[in-house]
Amino acid sequence: MKHTISVLVENQFGTFNRVVTMFSGKGFNVHSLSIGETEVPDISRMTIVTSGDDKIIEQVVKQLNRLIDTLKVVDLTGQPKIERELALITVYYQKGTRTEIVNVANIFRGKVVDINNKSITLEITGPPDKIDAAVNVLEPYGIKEMARSGTVALKRGEQIKHDKKDILVNHIKEGTK
Amino acid sequence: MRSNNQKLSGADIFFECLRREKVEYIFGYPGGAVLKLYERLYDVDFLKHILVRHEQGATHMAEGYAKATGKVGVVLVTSGPGATNTVTGIADAYMDSVPIVVFTGQVPSHLIGNDAFQEADIVGITRPITKHNFLVRDIKELASIIRKAFYIASTGRPGPVLVDLPKDVVNSVCEFSYPEKVEIRGYKPTLYGHQNQIKKAADIIKKAKKPLLYVGGGVIMSGGERELRLFAKENKFPVTMTLQGLGAYPMNEDLSLGMLGMHGTYWANQAVNNCDVLVSLGARFDDRVTGKIEAFALNAYKIHVDIDPTCIDKNVVVDLPIVGDVKHVLAELAAEINEPPKIDEWWKQIQRWREECPLKYEKNDGKLRSEFVIEKLSEKTKGEAVIVTDVGQHQMWVAQYYKFTNPRSHLTSGGLGTMGFSVPAAIGAAFAIKDRPVISISGDGGFQMNMQELATAVYNKLPIKFIIINNSFLGMVRQWQELFHAEKYSFTDLSASNPNFVKLGEAFGMKSFSTNNPFDVDDILDEAFAVNDGPILIEFKVVKEDMVFPIIPSGQTIKEMMTKRLDPKEMV
């Protein structure tokens, strides 16, 4: 099962490397990994999407915690959260398909960010499964190049104050579980 | 002592920090990138620098010193090859949780990444084998990094820390300020176990009919042997120890079942297999202990006390984890258990196992065997010596036949299994231990991996007894070849290439002995123990083909335990 783990780390020389070598050294999977500054300049947030059974995920979280440069590790899986990924996708077009591609972009609430006489570049943001869907639809047109940012995620704000029962209610409302 | 806010050079700051950390010894080797430090070292009088012969030796010495005392071992080497030579020792310290701090020189900052002379990315290389490491990029950070390095190495689950010192940083000048307190926001080891968990554990233990304490090196590291002894004695709990845990409980007492695991005693393994409550104290369920994970202590309720949360549920899923310093947890556990559980039946059963399959070896054919040598050593030293073993058959025989009575007396490379550990580690220990004999025991293979350090021992007049158990074979590998690899003795026979160990010892300036006669052992040991002004070397030429028994083949259970060599007739 896929897990999204959010890690606050020291914004320091070598921290990224420590996390990555831990993952490869322990044989854990990494599906995507993104890192960037937070509201506090000396702290960065890493969002790691990994997979494994419960025992492995428990070890992933513990091993992350064990690194001296990690400040906080939260497994966001199963929690109310906002997950986003950004993709830039360059697609070939022929006569007649250009509007279709732009339509696809619109359906996915994407934007056209570049165009030349052969290809068109779209920017699409959303949860990773939405990107997957867009890629799936665009594939037949011929994808020239693609860059995906990896998932970034945050816990949903209001729910944090609620107790467990409320979170469950929200889950049901949102249909996430 | 230098005061704060004084302007000091990087080299001065370095030694001032070591003084404040109360460092007594540095094991080191000079070279280009650390020349400035060695320039200052020339006039330093508050610590002693020990010149080694190879940087690997330096790290093992620091380990030996740290394991014997519980203090932090310190290493100072140059960049490039000096640094990479420390890697094996660092990995060894990481696996066995030994607190050492390794200072490596580095090329000047502006040359880093340029493939400069004697440059190696040692911080990158050692990232997976250190608890933490630092590259000092600015002299302003130097004092606080050294403070943090010692703090991280010695607290929580101890481990090696490496500090890389670029030449220009050491050469520059800065106002000295030594932080009074260490504040690392991402590092807060849990010392005290969760109260509810401890209460719950006590309730379970109280009701146990067949309890067993499974004691690892963590008990010794936390200094919890007193708590363990009280806890076990008051309740008459049987105690089995891992390789690193030997000595945490006196092995000459009845409650000790000796070592468990692959080469553990029959009764200890039976006890693990049949206990109803297994209390793991500072041990990590290593594969050499558990064998087949699914079958390990199958019916037992497992309580696991460890300071490192990653150890819990890593190999064996336990029923009740307690994260905390085992010393504190043991004290609290003992306080909770006011009435010892009734376990007389359990002890009778253990006694039956003891009689069923005792440790034994052939004594009557007039040939010299290492088991005999080790038993003799154990008698002569009353189990009180510091025994530093290498890796292989002799290591297991020491674990089986030497009756350790004190903690920090059995120093060995357990996790990494580093051949060549014994000679330098014994030297490191001998600098700290003056009131008990320090005995290094190696096989003829491992001895040759770091024998250059004999020069260090001779120069420093350390009264170490270097014992070589010479069977002219890489014995443990030979044993596996015989048992599991179709008796293809591929590259394990050293008889044609071994040096003359007596002449070798004499070349280093040591009084050296050799024998293959069991009747000489007493006299030679007496003569050796009488020498106290320097090291001596004894070669015991033992039977070539002996094997360590019992053995549970890797990944199997006690059902597959072999207790003796199969007779060819029985094999049909």
- Amino acid at position B346, single letter: W
Q: Do B107 and B164 contact (CB within 8 A), yes or no?
A: no
Burial B391-401 (b: 16+ CB within 10 A, else e): bbbbbbbbbbb
**Given this model, what pLDDT does residue A176 score?**
42
Domains and CATH numbers, chain A: 2-80+157-174 (3.30.70.260), 83-152 (3.30.70.1150)
**Given this model, what pLDDT does residue B568 score?**
63
How far apart (Å, rounded) are the C-alpha atoms in residues A16 and A34?
Answer: 10
Q: Does A43 touch chain B (CB under 8 A)?
A: no
User: Token pair of B308, please?
Assistant: 């490192």
How far apart (Å, rounded) are the C-alpha atoms in residues B231 and B337?
Answer: 9
Which range among B3-12, B28-37, B233-242, B345-354 shows the weakest confidence by mean pLDDT? Answer: B3-12
Contacts of A103 (CB under 8 A, 6+ apart): none
What tens digit of pLDDT does each residue of B53-90 get? Answer: 999 999 999 999 999 999 999 999 999 999 999 999 99
**Given this model, what pLDDT does residue B487 score?**
93
Q: Å from A155 to nearest chain B CA?
A: 21
Q: Do B472 and B544 contact (CB within 8 A), yes or no?
A: yes
Given a cut of 80, whether residue B567 has pLDDT beyond it is no
What tens digit of pLDDT does each residue of B154-201 get? Answer: 999 999 999 999 999 999 999 999 998 999 999 999 999 999 999 999
How far apart (Å, rounded) are the C-alpha atoms in residues A161 and A167?
Answer: 9
Q: Using 50, 70 and 90 to split pLDDT, how confident is the model at A166?
A: low
Which of A9, A10, A62 is the closest to B310 by Cβ? Answer: A62
Q: Do B146 and B17 contact (CB within 8 A), yes or no?
A: yes
Which range among A158-167, B503-512, B528-537 shows the weakest confidence by mean pLDDT? Answer: A158-167
Using a pLDDT cut of 70, give the percent of chain B over it.
99
Q: Using 50, 70 and 90 to split pLDDT, how confident is the model at B3?
A: confident
- Give the pLDDT mean for B336-340: 92
**Given this model, what pLDDT does residue A177 score?**
36
CB contact under 8 A, B128 and A10: no
Residues of B that are catalytic: 55, 117-118, 167, 476
Mutate to test the interface with B, among A44, A54, A68 (most CBs of B within 10 A): A68
Q: Does A62 touch chain B (CB under 8 A)?
A: yes
Q: Using 50, 70 and 90 to split pLDDT, how confident is the model at B5?
A: confident
Which of A66, A68, A70 is the closest to B310 by Cβ? Answer: A66
**Given this model, what pLDDT does residue A158 score?**
65
What tens digit of pLDDT does each residue of A63-96 get? Answer: 999 999 999 999 999 999 999 999 999 999 998 8
Given a cut of 80, whether residue A139 has pLDDT beyond it is yes
**Given this model, what pLDDT does residue B565 score?**
85
What tens digit of pLDDT does each residue of B488-527 get? Answer: 999 999 999 999 999 999 999 999 999 999 999 999 999 9
CB contact under 8 A, A13 and B137: yes
Which of A10, A62, A68 is the closest to B309 by Cβ? Answer: A62
How far apart (Å, rounded) are the C-alpha atoms in residues B156 and B98?
Answer: 11
Q: Do B166 and B107 contact (CB within 8 A), yes or no?
A: yes
Q: Å from A58 to nearest chain B CA?
A: 9
Mutate to test the interface with B, among A23, A56, A63, A66 (most CBs of B within 10 A): A66
**Given this model, what pLDDT does residue A1 score?**
87
Closest CA to B199 of B337, B396, B362: B337
Q: Using 50, 70 and 90 to split pLDDT, how confident is the model at A167?
A: low
Given a cut of 70, whether residue A168 has pLDDT beyond it is no
CB contact under 8 A, A66 and B185: no
What is the number of CB-based contacts under 8 A between chain A and chain B? 40
Which string of DSSP letters, residue by residue, matches B513-547? EEE--GGGHHHHHHHHHH--SS-EEEEEE--TT--
Placement of tokens 């936390």 in the chain? B222
CB contact under 8 A, B317 and A62: no
- Give the pLDDT mean for A45-54: 96
Q: Do A80 and A28 contact (CB within 8 A), yes or no?
A: no
Instruction: State the average pLDDT for chain B.
Output: 96
Given a cut of 60, whether residue A137 has pLDDT beyond it is yes
Q: Do A75 and A38 contact (CB within 8 A), yes or no?
A: no
Q: Using 50, 70 and 90 to split pLDDT, how confident is the model at A172?
A: low
Q: Do B268 and B561 contact (CB within 8 A), yes or no?
A: no
**Given this model, what pLDDT does residue A161 score?**
56
Q: Do B56 and B403 contact (CB within 8 A), yes or no?
A: no
Q: Helix or strand or coil: residue B561?
A: coil
**Given this model, what pLDDT does residue B285 score?**
95
Per-residue three-class SS string for B112-142: CCCCCCCCCCHHHHHHHHCCEEEECCCHHHH
* A-chain residues near B314 (CB < 8 A): 59
- Give the pLDDT mean for B363-389: 96
